[in-house]
Amino acid sequence: MRRTNSFSRLLAQSLLAASAAAMPYAAQAAGVCPSTASPYYTCTDVSSKWMPIGGAGSLVYADDLHFQYDPPFPINAFGNTYNEAWLSTNGYIYLGNSGATVIYTYTWDLMVDQQASLRTEVRGFPPNRQWIVQWDNVSFFGYWWDFPNGGEPRLSFQTIFNENGIIEYQYFGIDAGAAETLRGVIAISHGDQTVGSFLSYGQGIPSNMGVRWTPVVKDAQSPSITITSPANGASYLLAGSVAANYSCSDGNGTGVATCAGPVGNGAAVDTATVGSKSFSVSASDYAGNTTLLTSAYGVLYNFSGFFAPVDRSTGQQRNMNSTRAGQSVPVKFSLSGNQGMDIFQQGGPASKNVSCNETTSEAPVEEVATPGSSGLAYDPTTDRYTLVWKTDNSWAGTCRILTLKLKDGSEHNAYFRFTK
């Protein structure tokens, strides 16, 4: 760990002597970000998400000191990649040995005394790691003269380097009401490319306010979305357990900013009612590009049947049931529980005449019974529905297909040959 006195060499040269010329950007009334745009970064005032580093101790206890402490992953800033970093007790970090790129999180003549700490921590996993540098409870140098009995203003703030290039400043308890002497520089700088804010006496930082520096990247490509579950075109059973599974990526773009569906990953997908449904996931990246992907799926009754005395026909298999014309036929089936009487589509169940040698016919369709009438009943003991199909005497010598059209969109067929 190399150390050197830095306040007079770097801070005074970069800030105090030329702050008005280098950064003529007053902090905005509603936040910290300056109004002047940068060709390299977009500044956004964000709600502070203070991420305290636990434990005790400090890397140093000192005044006007900066020392080398290299990051756990390469840091991208202003189009350059840095593997070296220098931390200062005065609230800034410069990247690389030349010190051309400087991160001014809250920079002034500060001191890390025995009541304060300067620490770092790594969180997350590649490629989404965060390197957090935290100044905790630091004081302004010399303020013990103004506060001989204690109570001098103390500050806590963080720099968070994200592996995707975004840099965030977070603040804790820095507001104008704490003391009239608060002031400092909040900026990001590379050579003559400096953008930031100079906080004047008593200005402070709005409560719960943070700053996000997002690299300006020429990114015209929208993020991509993959929905594994519910799969597009898939069918699931009513009240079945289906867990959402989706992801978003942005390739070599600015990175995924948001990735959201109706429910979170691993949460239950809607299978509470039957019918056609959709599951939409939206994504955005830090360049403002957006994507929406929808997966269409269906929820079906857990149908089983038909039960005796009727044989069901499925696919190419045609089971012919023989019965006397004019006889009432009990058509029995199960939906795995009592799903009520409103289980049919409009116009179903229905029957139509077919050739006894063919499976299709141009004959008009005739309704079997009105859904919800006395023709349909449910027996909880057997968990079966019974549809009483009243056939007609005039059907003798013909064949018909009976189709149950359920509200879930499914159809279930049975063929009949009628005798006298």
CATH number, residue 267: 2.60.40
Same domain, 30 and 18: yes
**Which tokens hold the place of 330?**
């009990």
Same domain, 53 and 12: yes
Same domain, 200 and 348: no
Same domain, 273 and 329: no
Same domain, 409 and 314: yes
Among the three residues 192, 215, 238, which one is the final residue of a domain in this structure? 215
Among the three residues 166, 197, 215, which one is the final residue of a domain in this structure? 215
Same domain, 146 and 248: no
Number of domains in the chain: 3
**Which tokens hold the place of 144?**
């013990």
- As a three-state string, the secondary structure of 324-373 is ECCCEEEEEEECCCCCCCCCECCCCCEEEEECCCCCCCCCCEEECCCCCC
Output the DSSP codes for 273-338.
S-EEEEEEEEEEETTS-EEEEEEEEEEE---EEEETT---BBTTB-PEEEEETT-EEEEEEE-SS-
Asked whether the bond before 349 is cis by omega within 30 degrees of 0, the reply is: yes
Closest to 371 (Cα-Cα) out of 341, 401, 392: 341
Going residue by residue through the chain, which has 420 residues, state the pLDDT in tens, using 9 for 90 and above. 444 444 433 443 444 444 434 443 333 334 677 766 677 888 888 887 788 887 778 899 998 898 999 999 999 888 788 999 999 999 999 898 877 789 988 888 888 999 899 999 999 999 899 999 999 999 887 665 555 666 677 888 999 999 989 999 988 866 655 444 456 677 788 776 666 555 554 556 766 778 888 887 677 789 999 999 999 999 999 999 999 999 999 987 778 889 999 999 999 999 999 999 999 999 998 778 999 999 999 999 999 999 988 988 776 667 889 999 999 899 999 999 999 999 999 877 899 999 887 554 333 334 454 444 448 999 999 999 999 999 999 999 999 999 999 999 999 999 999 998
Same domain, 83 and 62: yes
Same domain, 281 and 162: no
Same domain, 263 and 325: no
Same domain, 267 and 331: no
Same domain, 379 and 401: yes
Same domain, 338 and 295: no
- Distance, in Å, from the CA atom of 149 to the CA atom of 153, rounded to the nearest integer, reads 12
Which residues span the domain enclosing 320?
Answer: 304-419
- Distance, in Å, from the CA atom of 56 to the CA atom of 7, rounded to the nearest integer, reads 26
Among the three residues 300, 315, 343, which one is the final residue of a domain in this structure? 300
- Distance, in Å, from the CA atom of 417 to the CA atom of 312, rounded to the nearest integer, reads 14
**Which tokens hold the place of 292?**
């929406």
